[in-house]
Amino acid sequence: MRKRTQLVGFEFGYWKHSQYITEFLDNSLDAIETFHWKEIEKSDSRNKFSLDQETALENLSLMQDLLEEETFDSDDKEELSKEKEEEAGEIIDKAEIEVEEEVQRIIDDLEELLKPIEDLVDIEPIVVVRLRESEPPSFLTSELSQKNVMNYTIEIFDNGIGMSKGDLRKFGKYLASSKSVELKQTRGSQGFGAPSAFSDAQNTTGKPIIVASKTSDMVYANTSEFFTTSKNEKRYLIHPVDFDSPFGHGTYIKLNYLNVKYVRGYVDTYINETALMNPHITILFIDPYGEQITYPRLVSSFPKQPKYAKPHPSSTNIGDLQDLIAKSENLTVSAFLQENFVRVSPKTAKEIIIIAEKDLQNKNNLLILKEGFITKSKKKEDPIYLLKKEKRVYGRSEKLRDKIIIYSLKSDDLKNDYWTLISEFINKDKNLISINKSINKHNRRIETVNTKKEQKNIEKEVDKLVKEINKINKQNEEIKNQIYELIKRNESGLLELKKFPSRTEYEDLIREVQISKAKPVELSNEQFNSLFHAFKSIKYMGPPTDTAIPVGDRVLENTLVKEIGLKISENIEDFDDPVSNLVSVKETLLKEKKKQESLSSEDAPLDRSVNNSEIEISVSRILASYDILENNGDPDEFNNTFNKVFKKLDDESGSSYRDLLNYFIDIHSKDDDFASAETRPPTSGKGLAYVVEAALAYCNDPKKLDTPKRSRDVLSRFVNRTPKLRDSAECAITKAVQSVNWKNYKLDTFDNNLPKGPIKLLVNVSGPYVHLMFKSQSKNALAEDEELIKEIKYCLEAIGRRLRAYLNKKDTFRKTEKRSSVIERYIPTFVESLFNIAKTTESEYKEKSSPEELERLMKEAIGKKTTLKLIVEQRTEKPVIQKEGERKEIPKKVEIEWEKEVEEAVDEKSRTEDHKPETETFSEKTLLKWTIKELLEYSKEFDISISPNSKKIDIINKIQSYKKTEAMVEKPTIEVEEELVKLISKRPESLENYVTSKESKPIKETPPKPKPKGIIPQTIQTTLPVITTDKIIATLNNEWQNITHLIFKLKIKDMMDARYLQNRLKELVRREKVEMLIIKNKKHWKLK
Amino acid sequence: MASKSENWDLKATKQLFQEYLNRNLKEQKNKKILPVETVEIDDLNKTQALKRIREFIDSIIEKIYKDGRPSIFLPSRTTGNIIWDEENDLLLLGKQIMEKQFHSLASVADITRVMKVLEKVNELLLKDLHATKREIFYSAVTLFGDQKNSDKCIEDVASMLYTTRNSTHIVASAKGSCVGRLRIRDRNDIIDLEGLGGGGWTISPMLDNVEIIESDAEFILVIEKDAAMMRLAEARFWRKYPCILLTAQGVGNVAVRMFLKRLSKELNLPVFSLVDSDPYGHYIHSIYLRGSKRLSYESPFLATPNIKLLGVLTRDLDKYKIPNSARIPMNKQDIKRTTDLLNEDFVKKNKEWEQDLKLAVKLKIKAEIQAFSSHGFEFLTDRYLPEKLTTGDWI
């Protein structure tokens, strides 16, 4: 058997394990995707994956452990039987009985492997990979035995499209891959991988390869056991046999290979990264230590099917063209070009052919004229022939038929005229050659030039030369026409050569020159070369970009979040509207509003509508609140606060409502991790269309994601979703990542300028022709390309900007937190001193207050001014103070001032209606929360003395500050201040009454227009756990329901939530609140 | 020399004394009026101070009940808020108000310390005791961290209550001494300052316990340096020329300045200062004259606006032929300080003083009081002082 391992180099070493995995895992993923895409195109598909089920894989590992031992046994048997054959010296087809036994063994193997997932095998896109260590082979050479070499069995199953019998027969041969026919954005591409692996496997162990496969159209699966041979043929030990398979469609491959001992860090990394980029497929991996790693499917949809992409001329090399031409069935070259390449229009095809023909004419010294051909003689003495097709009767037929007639130019005049023309033509051609040379020179210079300006200059020159070429070409055409005219005019000077010795030679020449008339398959070598040069010399439009399908930034983000377990508050827009909730909330809101209005003013119209989007947000908030409730363990307090505020949601321009939102946002997103992905729009350069995407996760929990010690662990490179683990330093992706200035984005870097921190960075390059972008055949590193590096850099910088914003925000939070802790530390000392004084002096608070109370009040005031609690506390506490204040006399001055203002305000109101909304809609509470600056600005806007609300506070502030300066000298400020506060709290009613009695319209009706502190940000973040235990119990009833029912009822669309639900259900069963029963392999639940 | 000294009759000083006596009779009627834009500071007695504290505490608690965010307001003591009252020749505080919030990282420590000091002040007032700044610092070392902080808070408390520091019963440590023709009562002890030998009476910081009984002095002499004081005390200067001698050993602290103020106010005597002929000496003089910037709000209670700078003036160096060996060249810092002084309003107003400082800058020379000992140790007491006092050679 010839060693063919060189094609895809398989060498002993840790990498070899992952090489095997790479070859087959990629194929499997492709197969699954192909199946899915095929199925979803059918309108009545029954076999397609149902992507809504939960992946019940928890029990898998347990069962697997039990099975493990058995499999080893069967394996040993197998080995024994094989070794016997080995001894026999020659591999012969097995007797029928033996074949039956062997097939049974394969089926048993397969069933063992699939048993744990038998429920899922037809509905869940799944790949199972099992790698096992078997006994070290006895025939080891001394060279190998030193290396701690073991025998490994790899089994891989996927429930993809499967192979038909015919395909199966081809499988294992080189270039039998589907991808060499149709070039799509797929993982593998050339069909070398699997055959190379087979070859290595049988070369190292001498054991056959077992393949079983079934498409959804087949009733039985087909299996065979074979060797591949050096003639690219298969030698069967078991010829393809039908059998009943435990799976509906898919492929199973089992082979043995020899390699150094398996260690972790290669295969598992590869599978892990594959799972990251392919979250739409469940991957199960059982490593040689028996450990099972599960990567459940994380998304409920597949990526878009990539379009079939025709090759682009710029990225086509001569071999490709040759292959295509050999296979083509087109009748003309023009049709062939148009059909097989993208961006080749009829016009460009014609252009290509003209160029090719011109080349051929020069080479063969035969010029094509309008009618006929003429030789291009180089010397004056040479005979000149004119070849022409004419209708003649010749041969046996009596009809007129085309015949090539050869004339020679006889008359000297004609010859001379011809000569003058043809010499001009030849001169022009010579010019052309020199011009082409200088163009090449310029092109070479461009590459060495540094500045853009110089580059442009050269380009300009080249353009000039190209124009000149075109001109010359036209002139030459003109000359040819002139020759044609010349001959037509002097037909008498022609002499028909009836018996011409080299007639066939000239006939061949005609065929050679006329590429446009030739069949592509029949092109001669010279023609092909000319065609290829012409094909490459033309400028084409870039390839269409719709053939490159990215994974998608959303998918990447989610995968990162789920895979690492980041704590990320989701965007509120992502939240699926719980319709029923919305409706009920809306109703409550309306009811609440009506109630309030009927209380406040009887004749007010009741048709106030509730803003839909506001409710939506509020509902999300409510749900978010439950999360806080569970997390912070302070449910009662929170619930109370929440209820209070929610009831007041309607009043006072919804300011309290907004406070609530802000409060949640703050509470919620403060220790968020960060995940962001960016997908660039597809680009096409140099004949390749590709799309670049990147994702970055930043984790605050070192248990989940710590700063890697090695720089290469930070970055994961992918090409068409396939992880690339080797040659990272040479890859264009690495270079691009290094070119980003990460310090700008608040990230530290390693010495090689890769970012450093608790981060994970993924970069994926997808496109139909990426295999052409690799540096070498090993397909591990992308070649450096300016355009590609720029794309990746832009992509990373976009993410970097987001990261910086996030890190900045985090810093601010940390500072705030530090501040509160510092302030909190001082509170007891402060209060102690304060209260000690109060105790010994005749303070009015001596009896009423306690240090604990003061401390509590101050602690609550820490943090943001607008916290929810603060507002609520204020509401409950205030009356007490006010009562105390009542005893004091209201300073007269202030009272008068107040009355005056009311009058002024009302006057103003009746005069200018426009000002009303602004002036009226602010509650005193809102205003109290305003900073003085804002108030001042506001009052400036509305001419201070007019708007009563802001004015009031403004005055308070002024009086406060003013009084403070004098207070200590004369009178106590506090009394004044307190009375003012009291007055404000009274004011709205009085004012309202006053106004409503005067005007028919209630002021309250005016919408809340000016927003005190910015509108609610569009991208409010919050986690939205839909499921609570209460909710689950509410959904359950006395009928048996399975998980899909529950998922439907709870409107879960996220796998994580579904898993959460599952766990909750388990817990409920344990607590005996819920009954569980397995019906048809599925768990069903009902209430007890 | 001794025979010569008999001739000095202190004519000029006596004249000035007479003048003061006459003026005082008139001045008794019209009280001092402070400019409008300044903050008024009261000297409070115990009960008044306690009342103010109570009011303040109430306001704080009220604020806590209102929004849980207490803050205190006090007059700003930055340079921008210090106003020179031309009429009375005093530095006073303007009306800029500073807010210290509890819920701000910048001031939370400050406000807590202020509250601590206030607590101590309250205690002192209640028990009618006095404490030094140092004692206050040690009452809560961890909170204050550094005595600088507690000193600052003590001043904050005083200004916050719009009163003098003395009214808060926090006193500076005693540093000055006094000797001469004066009899006082410290609580129950009657002390005759003439009979205390050379050391004199250490000025008590608890001046509210001190009562001035009588004196037949004709002027008061404030001396910068203890050494010069010893010289005068040894010569029993006050026997020959009826006077009271006072020293603070450097910059006059609150107790010394307050005592001086009381002496000059109650006894109505001309006050002279004898300082080194260097910018620092002139600065010390200016402290007595119009108060320090830091305690500017207390200026009316600490400053002695009618103090005269007797010496050593720059022009005296040539006049009394101080040898070059006793003259010290000014360094850069000295020159800078002198020019700084020249920029002060109160210096600009006093032409003679300005001239003398300009002369100093021109000659770039300074000298200490001890420079006179180059003419013999008795020169200061027998010739220099009497001559100046007689001829009225002061600024």
Percent pLDDT > 70 in chain B is: 92
Positive or negative torsion for Cα A869, A870, A872, A878: positive
Task: Indicate the residue type of A862.
Answer: I
Strand A366-368 relative to strand A292-295: parallel, antiparallel, unpaired? unpaired
Strands B90-93 and A759-766: unpaired
Q: A881 and B65: CB-CB below 8 Å?
A: yes
Query: Which has the closest alpha carbon to A264: A565, A563, A22, A17?
Result: A17
Residues of B in contact with A837 (CB under 8 A): 53-54, 57, 118-119, 122
> What's residue A1012's pLDDT?
38
| Of A292, A283, A295, A287, residue with least CA distance to A262 | A287
What DSSP letter does each residue of A41-106 carry, written as one string? HSTT-SSS--TTS----TTHHHHHHHHHHHHHHHHHHHHHHHHHHHHTSS--PPPHHHHHHHHHHH
Among chain B residues, CA nearest to A884: B62
DSSP label of A774:
B
In CATH, what class is B2-28+173-391? alpha beta
pLDDT tens, residue by residue, B70-83: 888 888 877 777 77
Mean pLDDT of all residues in B55-66: 85
Q: How do residues B129-162 score in pLDDT, each as one tens digit?
A: 888 888 888 988 888 888 888 888 888 888 888 8
pLDDT score, position A232: 72
For chain B, the residues whose C-beta falls within 8 A of a C-beta of chain A are 39-40, 42, 50, 52-70, 73, 75, 95, 97, 102-103, 105, 108-109, 111-112, 115-116, 118-119, 122-123, 126, 143, 160-162
Find the residue in B nearest to A856 (Cα).
B68
The enclosing H or E element of B309 equals strand B307-311
Q: Is the alpha carbon torsion for A663, A664, A666, A671 positive or negative? A: positive
Q: Which residue in A819, A827, A834, A859 has the most chain B C-beta atoms within 10 A of its own C-beta, making it the best mutation to test that interface?
A: A834
pTM of the model: 0.55
Element containing residue B346 per DSSP (H, E): helix B345-349
pLDDT < 50 positions in chain A: 1-7, 56-92, 175-182, 189, 570-583, 602-610, 623, 625-635, 638, 642, 645, 648-658, 660-661, 864-927, 929-931, 942-952, 959, 962-1025
pLDDT at res. A622: 54
Q: Determine, for residues B73 and A965 on separate chains, whether the beta-carbon distance falls below 8 Å.
A: yes
Q: What are phi and psi of A945, to 5 degrees?
A: -70, -10
Say if residue A379 is exposed, middle or buried (CB neighbours under 10 Å; 0-12, 13-18, 19+). Answer: exposed
Which residues of B are part of the catalytic machinery?
138
Mean pLDDT for the stretch of residues B177-200: 86
- Provide the ipTM: 0.73
Find the largest Cα–Cα distance for chain B. Answer: 80
Contacts of B53 in chain A (CB under 8 A): 837, 841
Q: Which pLDDT tens digit goes with each residue over B250-273?
A: 887 888 888 888 888 888 888 999
Chain B residues within 8 A of A978 when measuring between CB atoms = 62, 66
Domain ranges, ordered by start, for chain B: 2-28+173-391, 46-171
Number of CB atoms found within 10 A of residue B227's CB? 14
Tens digits of per-residue pLDDT, B1-29? 444 445 677 788 888 888 877 776 665 55
Residue in A843, A854, A862 nearest the CB of B54: A843
Distance from CA of A621 to the nearest CA of B (A): 26
Q: Which residue of B has its CA nearest to A864?
A: B103
**Sign of torsion over alpha carbons B156, B159, B163, B164:** positive
Residue type, A633: G
Which domains are seen in chain A, by residue range? 14-42+55-295 (3.30.565.10), 313-537 (no CATH), 1026-1087 (1.10.10)
More confident residue, A1052 or B218: B218
Residues of A in contact with B102 (CB under 8 A): 823, 826, 830, 858
Residues B297-318 have a mean pLDDT of 83
Q: Which of A833, A854, A870 sits opposite B64 (nearest CB)?
A: A854
Q: Residue A589: CB partners within 8 Å, gap ≥ 6? A: A610, A615, A649, A650
Round to whole Å and give the CA distance between A989 and A1008: 18
Q: Which SS3 state, helix, strand or coil, does residue A710 take?
A: coil
Residue B290: CB atoms within 10 A of its CB come to 25
For residue B116, the chain A residues in CB contact (below 8 A) are 829, 833
Residue A730's pLDDT is 85
Contact (Cβ atoms closer than 8 angstroms) between residue B337 and residue B318: no
Distance CA A49, CA A214 (A): 16
Contact: A845, B61; criterion CB under 8 Å: yes
- A-chain residues near B109 (CB < 8 A): 826
Say what the pLDDT of residue A976 is: 39
CA pair distance A493, A491, nearest whole angstrom: 5
* Cα B161 from Cα B155, distance rounded (Å): 10
Fold classified for B46-171: Arc Repressor Mutant, subunit A (1.10.10)
Q: Is the preceding peptide bond at B312 cis, omega within 30 degrees of 0?
A: yes
**What number is the average pLDDT over the span B200-207?**
84
CA proximity to A117, closest of A51, A68, A125 = A125
> DSSP assignment, residue B383?
I
Residue A928 CA to its chain's centroid (Å): 47
Residue A821's SS3 state is helix
Between CA B75 and CA A546 the distance in angstroms is 72
A913: tokens are 């209606």
Whether B46-171 and B2-28+173-391 are alike in CATH topology: the answer is no
Residues of A near B (Cβ–Cβ under 8 Å) read 819, 822-823, 826, 829-830, 833-834, 836-838, 840-845, 849, 854, 857-862, 870, 873-874, 877-878, 880-881, 928, 961, 964-965, 967-969, 972-974, 977-978, 981
Give the H or E element holding residue A203.
helix A193-205
| pLDDT tens sequence across B99-114 | 888 877 778 888 888 9
Q: Which among A1054, A1064, A1032, A1029 has a CA at the least distance from the CA of A1045?
A: A1032
Q: Which of B65, B116, B163, B167 to mutate to test the interface with A (most CBs of A within 10 A)?
A: B65
B126 contacts on A by Cβ (under 8 Å): 840
